[in-house]
Structure 1
Amino acid sequence: MNLTKKKLEDASAENIISPQQVESLYEFLLAQSQDVPKFTFTHVLYYLGGLIAIGAMTLFMNLGWESFGGAGILSISVLYAAVGLKITNSFAAKNLAIPAGICATFVVCLTPLAIYGFQQWLGVWPDDSVYRDYHRYIKWHWLYMELGTLAVGAIVAWKYKYPFLIMPIAVTLWYMTMDITAMISGGDLTWELRELVSLYSGLLMIGLAFWVDIRAHQKGDYAFWIYIFGVIAFWGGLSSQNSDSELSKFLYFCTNLIMIGVGVLLVRRVFVVFGALGSCGYLGYLASDVFSDTWLFPIALTAIGLGIIYLGILWQKHERSITKKSRSLLPVPLRQLLEAKS
C-alpha cells in the first residue's frame, strides 16, 4: 500500500483522523521508511554511484592492474577496503543506512581481488587467467576467491546488518555452484550439465531465501537478493531444457503459473516477472507452432483471458474470508511472514 500525505489528508477530510494527527502520522511514517530503498532521485544517486564503484573493481576491471603484480594488487585492495570501512562507519554514525550499506558492500566485493593478488604474490596461481576472467568464465580455482568472499561477506553482514550486503553473497553462491560442478566434472562442463546445475542450485537458493525471509523479515529484507539470483538461476535452467514432448512444455507453462502465484503470495515481483515471461513464451509457442493455422486459437485465448479477469473479480469480493481461512491452516512463522507483507 502506497500511503501518501494526500491520502492522510483525505482521511482527515472524512473526519477519520484530525489535521494534527495527519502531520504527526506522516512524519512518523516518513522516519520509519527513510532506510527503505525507494525509486527517488536521492536513492537512484546512491545506488548509481555505488554500483559504478563496485563495477569498477569487479566487472569493469581491466588488464592495467596486472602491472602492479600480486603484492601491489593486494596492497591496493586492502587500502581501498580500509577507506570503504571508514566511510561506512562515518555514514552509519550519521544514520545514513543506504549509503553505508552500499559502501560496506563495496568492501565485500573487493575480497576476490585481494585473494587473487595474494595468490599471485605467493606464486600459487594455477594458470595464465587474470582477475577479470572471474566474472566471465567457469574455473575450479575461483573457489578460493569465492570461499573468502562468503567468509568476509558473512562477517561484514553480521557486523553491519544491511540488507544490500546479501547481494555479493548471493552472486558468489551462484558462481560457486558452477565452479564446484567444473571441479567435480574435471572441467568437462557441458551445456546440459550447466542447465541442470542452474536449475537445482536455483531451487536451493530459493529455499534458502524463503528460510531467511521467515527468520529475518521483521529486521529487514535480507532475502531480496537471494530470491533474485535464485529465481534467475532456476528459471534460466528450466527454460534452457530441451524437450520434444508437449506434456513437458505444458508442465513448463504450469511451473511458470505457479511462480506467478508464489510471487503474489510472498509479494516478490521477481517470481511474477519471470513466471510471466515463461507463460508468454509458451503461449507464443502455441500460437506460432501448434495452432498456427487454427483461427479459433486467438478466440479461445481471449475467452481464457476474460475468464481470468472474472476470477480476479470473484477473488476481490471474497479475498478477506478466503485469506483468513487459508492462513489459519498455515504454520505460525509462515502466517506471520504473510501478514507482515499484507
Structure 2
Amino acid sequence: MRIGLVGYGGWGRVHARVIGRVAGLSLGGVVAGDDDSARQAAHDLPGVSVHRSLDALLADPAIDLVDIVSPNHLHADTAVKAFDAGKHVLLEKPMATTLTDAERVVAAAERSGRYCDSVLQLRASRQWAKVRSLIEEGALGRMRAANFTLFRRPFRGGAGDWRFARAEVGSWILEEPIHYIDLLLWYFRERGLPIEVAASGVASPRGPGMFDAFTATMTFADGSYAVFSQCLAGFEHSLVLELAGDQGAIRTCWAGAMDRTETPDFELKLRRAGAEAAETVAVEKSGEVFELEEQLRRLLVEAPSGSPLVSAREALPSLKVCLEIERALVEKRTIPLRWS
C-alpha cells in the first residue's frame, strides 16, 4: 500500500519513520507545508516525491491512502478533497475544529465509500485497549466512576507556532485530551453517551481556547461519571487512570520523559470481581509511537475490508464532548449534551 503523507512537522516525521518500519507499506509522496519542511523531507526521504500542493499528491494514481498530519484547521478540507479524489484516508485527531466541519468529513467519507480511520491510536494500545477488554469480560462489573489525569510539560508551538493560534489549533482540548475523552467514552460504552458535562479550569494568557489546566466531568444517565484532568504546567508526561465498577477496579499509569518516548514506565493493576487483592496485569509495551505503528500495520487488513479502528462517525462523540467542555469552561456552567 502506497501512502501519501500530508504534513512533515514533528509528528509527520514520526509517521514517516513508522511507515518505513511496516512491511507492506511504502511512502509514495509527501506534502510539505513550507520550504523548511520540504527541504527536510527531501533530505530524510531520498526517492520520495515532495510536493508543495495537495493537488499534486492527489493526482498521483499510485497513492492508495492519504495520511493527514497537518495542523488541525486543515484536517477537514484535506480529508474531503482526498475522498473526492478516490483515496482512502488516515486522519489525525481532531478530524476538524468545529462540529460542522467534522460532520462534513463524515458525509464525505460515507459518500465516497472509501476507508477512513481516525488516529485515535490508543484504542490499539496493549495497555489502554486491555482496560476495555477487562471491562467487556466483566472484571469490574458495572462501570460506576473514572478519574483520568494527565500531567505534562507545556505544549510546543509547532511550525509557525500553529498550536498557539486559535484559528489553527481550534483549542488545546482538541489537541491531546481528545484521546482520553475518546477512551473514557469507549470504557463507558454500555452506559450510553453522557448527558451533561461540567468543567473548571485556568485560562492561558495565550488566549481563547487555551487552558493551562482544566478538569471536566461527564455524567451519564444512570449517575455514573468520568472525570478527566489536564495540567500543562508540569514536566515530563504522566498519565494515571482509576476506574471503579460495582465489583472490581483498575489503576493503570504511564510515564515518560515525553509523550513520544519509546522507553516509558507503565503498569496496570486490577482487582477483579470476586477477588480481595489486586493483581498486576502483564503489558508488553505501551506508548503512542508503538500504537501508531500498530494502527498503521492494521491498514493492510482494515483498508481493503473497510473496517477502521475508529471510523469518522465513531470519532464524532469525543470531538463534540471536547467542544462542549470548552463551552462549559467559557460559560462557567454545566452543559447538557444532546445527541441526535
Greater share of residues in strand: 2
Greater share of residues in helix: 1
Larger radius of gyration: 1
TM-score (ref. length: structure 1): 0.24
Higher RCO by CA contacts (8 Å cutoff, separation 6 or greater):
2
